[in-house]
A = this chain, B = another copy of it.
């Protein structure tokens, strides 16, 4: 067994990294002219593209508000003002009306807010809702909270009743599937919307939360030996690459969502399943024994995935693994979970942070070399790293406060 990290040192490093990452985005990402955030930011902080990706706008608003609301040292006007400006930009520009008469959120906007692309999925809307709900919590704007709830109702309708409003044509060879991202995101939204709310609100979303958990659990396949990203609507394995694909980082993220949910509802059995199937299993399958780090995609039968980036080491699966293992350890105190956390921690902190320019690299080769050196891009913004550092710092505070 390799060494286990010292929790005090770990918290110290994580706290410093969080400060560093927050400062990087405060300094480089704000658009003082048009509002909102630049998200395509080079290694040294320079903006290399002015497009504004809505997922990342919503996530940044959410993260700023969460830090402002729950961490003393981030309760600063500068952060609140940035979150408000981001929220205003989103409300003004992100929603576009569709031919079906429903509202959708754009995926990408020009610097001044013109829609560039609308995806036929629910994810832009999810991050919009997260932003609005969290922002309403710091501003007390109940209209905004209502708007978040109304958009969530629209999403639930698209997912559970009729998806035609998303604009996807129904094709005979393309049966609807259960992709893990969808129930994961909805579960995340249920947790967001109900946190600290009145019992009737919590109750209102109780069934949806249970449904999301069941949908996520359907991805445990092959007698419990694999988490598969896509299954049929009735929980059977799908044919071909689509059915065999595994995304270890995504499974680990689902893992800590489920641990959180099981803690909230006191569901011990769910916690056990979450840790063994969604945390330990994807880590065991997904860790590169030769070079270290988590693979991005794998094929459960060992075929070569068709995603060109399958063997790359991305920042976010490592962020999710850190949260998952530390949360699992804090719930169970099982030393092997701290052991795994330590291994992920060592890899992550020795490979991703950029000692020269701050923030973290996002994309490494299989061997661990930096393959793309930007700090922000179409899918990397102010979200996975600060969320991970924030979650880990809070869990460590807890663990260290309750140390015997």
Contacts and interface: CB of A to CB of B under 8 A. Distances in A.
Given A114-B171, A173-B110, A241-B48, A42 B304 contact: yes
A365 B365 contact: yes
Chain A, interface size category, equals 35 or more
A241 B40 contact: yes
B240 A374 contact: no
A33 B296 CA distance: 35
Contacts of A282: none
Q: Can you tell how many copies of this chain the complex includes?
A: 2
A233 to B, nearest CB: 16
A365 to B, nearest CB: 7
Interface string A177-189: 0000000000000
A301 to B, nearest CB: 8
A117 interface: yes
Interface in A291-345: 299, 303-306, 308-312
A43 B304 CA distance: 9
A interface: dominant SS = loop
Given A40-B241, A50-B239, A240-B51, A304 B174 contact: no
A372 B118 contact: no
Interface string A38-59: 0010110000111100000000
Contacts of A96: 171
A299 B372 CA distance: 12
A109 interface: yes
Interface string A337-373: 0000000000000000000000000010110000111
A378 interface: yes
Contact of A115 (B40, B50, B171, B240): B171
Contacts of A366: 365, 371
A138 interface: no
B378 A240 contact: no
B305 A48 contact: no
Nearest to A310: B372
A306 B374 contact: yes
Nearest to A314: B308
A377 interface: yes
Given A308-B308, A308-B312, A373-B304, A50 B171 contact: no
A305 B110 contact: no
Contacts of A239: 49-50
A49 B241 contact: yes
B171 A117 contact: yes
Contacts of A372: 304-306, 308, 310
A236 B311 CA distance: 38
A360 to B, nearest CB: 14
A366 to B, nearest CB: 8
A106 B173 CA distance: 11
A49 B240 contact: yes
Interface of A: 40, 42-43, 48-51, 96, 99, 106, 108-110, 114-118, 169, 171-174, 239-241, 299, 303-306, 308-312, 363, 365-366, 371-374, 377-378
Given A115-B174, A306-B377, 18 more contacts: A40-B306, A48-B240, A48-B241, A49-B241, A49-B306, A50-B239, A51-B240, A51-B241, A110-B173, A114-B171, A114-B173, A115-B171, A117-B174, A118-B169, A118-B171, A305-B372, A306-B378, A308-B308
